[in-house]
Amino acid sequence: MSHTVLITGAASGIGAQAAKHFAQKGVDLALSDINEEAGLALVDECNHISQGQSKVTFYIADVSDKVAVTELFRAAKNDFGQINVLVNNAGIEYPPTPLHLTDDALFEKNIAVNVKGVWYCMKEALNMMLPNGGGNIINIASVAGLRSAPMIAGYSATKHAVVGLTKSAAVEYAKLGIRINAVCPSFIDTPMVQRTLEQMDERGQKSIVGASPMKRLGRPEEIAAAIVWLASDEASFMNGHCMTLDGGMLA
Ligand code: NAP
């Protein structure tokens, strides 16, 4: 793999694990997040993993801010020359709440980060990839983008939007050499899910962990491996696909 990969929300959880998997392959990495301290620590870790094979740079950027996203891609192009793969990973959670009691501000923030953030980054990436003759976009959706997700309806709406963006754009850009896919994880053991579990009683926690027939949370490495495969030429005929990684939950 001789690509430059840009990952948003890279400082934690699935994004951080994806960065480490790409670093193992010596891929150049443009890592972005709102958490600068964790982002810079990840740069050190990726440099250590790749043993100097990867060029790794961190950019602080809030994906819900269009101007910041434009600046992120401008800076990354300046530093790397090209972005071949975008991993659109930044996303925020949604404390389980009945829809009619949910604060509008929470829904609006979910739309801003989980939908507008994905949209802005896709647009910037497509504009950069098209003159280059190809590229690869991997959006991080969720099983909540494929089926009902009671108590997190607003989050579920944003992930359905990510699935829609993925499929429509994949068809639009296929003949232009750009593959666009999504991964749809169930509950994965990241800081995001740990924060959600902390707000639940024991029964609620058991229902989350037991939601998969495998009776465990997924591991960030299990999602990172799928992301790296989708980014590779081994997945060259995979396009417009929303890959469920859920231990069989939706089977
Ligand atoms: P995580 O551990 O919370 O990591 C997300 C990272 O994104 C954090 O570093 C976070 O920074 C950053 N971030 C938040 N808002 C941002 C913004 N506006 N701009 C840029 N970065 C921002 O979450 P995760 O579990 O790895 O989730 C990654 C993606 O997978 C999300 O899109 C999530 O919806 C999706 N997903 C997760 C699961 C799961 O079970 N974990 C399941 C399905 C889908 P702060 O920590 O400072 O906020």
34 Cβ inside 6 Å of ligand 1: yes
Q: Across the strands, what pairs with 87?
A: 7, 138
* CA angle in degrees (0–180, nearest 5) for 176-89-80: 60
Catalytically active residues, by annotation: 155
Give the DSSP letter string of 60-123. Answer: E--TT-HHHHHHHHHHHHHHHS---EEEE----------GGGS-HHHHHHHIIIIIIHHHHHHH
- pTM of the predicted protein model: 0.98
Segment 98-153, tens digit of pLDDT: 999 999 999 999 999 999 999 999 999 999 999 999 999 999 999 999 999 999 99
Q: State percent of the chain over pLDDT 90.
A: 98
Q: Is the distance from the beta carbon of residue 118 to the nearest atom of ligand 1 less than 6 Å?
A: no
Q: What is the distance in A from the centroid of ligand 1 to the CA of 159?
A: 13
**Residues near 104 by beta carbon (within 8 Å), at least 6 away in sequence:** none
In the three-class reduction of DSSP (H, G, I as helix; E, B as strand; rest coil), residue 143 is classed as: helix
Protein residue whose Cα sits closest to atom 33 of ligand 1? 91
4-241 maps to CATH 1.10.3720.10:
no
Task: Answer whether 12 contacts ligand 1 (Cβ < 6 A).
Answer: yes
Q: pLDDT tens for residues 73-105?
A: 999 999 999 999 999 999 999 999 999 999 999
**Hey, where are the domains in the chain?**
4-241
